[in-house]
Structure 1
């Protein structure tokens, strides 16, 4: 990934991004009253190589003026059929409301479809109202089976590949 959206640069995570990316996620979680859990639900942010890159996933950072202001990622998962989970899609408050979340979701879906995955799962918390609205507006359907303690919602979207279309 290496793309531009307005004055934002979306690029692949690098080792030097580890703590800045983790700090963005920590800040957003705390803003919504959710716990930062580096030993549990957020361990993947500290261990990006093993949690994403080494297993066929991707982890992106969003920069503005050379500062990391957001993250977005997906990783293959055992749940569902040939599935991935979108994770760690967080934007600092000052950059929300500019269409960046919609852009990131679209770009994640394109990257996932290129790899021929069939299902996208997302776990989130109902307190993250903007995220919930974004997923629902973009075809994600409520599902069951929350696996992350701080989450209370699960969404699923089945991808239509060209072989499935008439």
Structure 2
């Protein structure tokens, strides 16, 4: 299970009490890039974490700095191939970007995905999220086709080594 410490941050599994702070964080990051918060659409999975992540064999985590929620990330199984998941809702507050936290979080997620027997990771993003585009490309996610989320225009794929 993804859980741990990085610098002054704590990464832990999501609880129901995180629903509102996680939604606020994601909405604020989207607003930063003039993208809409869509709780009945593209962001419904954050409103219904149990249904989309927990009950499907995925997982959802939050990052805290002290008592403040500063990040989110999750994944759930998808049918885009054998043993595939989609990485979702990897957002960090602007105040905590640039310290290596995103890389640490991604590495923890990839390790958990691999531990659970999945091999292929898909992630959708938008070109306007230039930092995210660079981040995924830097971490060996390869451009692909088949975007399914209306506000996204890019999709990436990464195959993990077999264990």
Distance 2:38 2:141 in 1: 26
1:39 is aligned to 2:40: yes
* TM-superposition CA deviations, 1:60-94 (whole Å, max 9, x none): 00000111011010010111221000000000111
Distance 2:148 2:82 in 1: 17
Distance 1:93 1:102 in 2: 15
Pairs aligned (count): 162
Kindly state the Cα deviation for residue 131 of structure 1 after the two structures are TM-superposed.
1.1
Aligned to 1:80: 81
Residues 38-117 of structure 1 mapped to structure 2, 5 A cutoff:
38-117=39-118
* TM-superposition CA deviations, 1:88-124 (whole Å, max 9, x none): 0000111111111111111110000001112000000
Superposition CA RMSD, Å? 0.7
Return 5+ residue gaps in structure 1 as ranges.
Answer: none
TM-score normalised according to structure 2 size: 0.97
Distance 1:79 1:37 in 2: 23
Distance 1:3 1:32 in 2: 29
After TM superposition, the runs of 4+ consecutive aligned structure 1 residues lying more than 3 A away are none
DSSP-derived class of the 2:133 partner: helix
Kindly state the Cα deviation for residue 126 of structure 1 after the two structures are TM-superposed.
0.9
DSSP-derived class of the 1:55 partner: coil
Kindly state the Cα deviation for residue 49 of structure 1 after the two structures are TM-superposed.
0.2
* TM-superposition CA deviations, 1:34-64 (whole Å, max 9, x none): 1100000000000000000011011000000
DSSP-derived class of the 1:52 partner: helix
Residues 12-27 of structure 1 mapped to structure 2, 5 A cutoff:
12-27=13-28
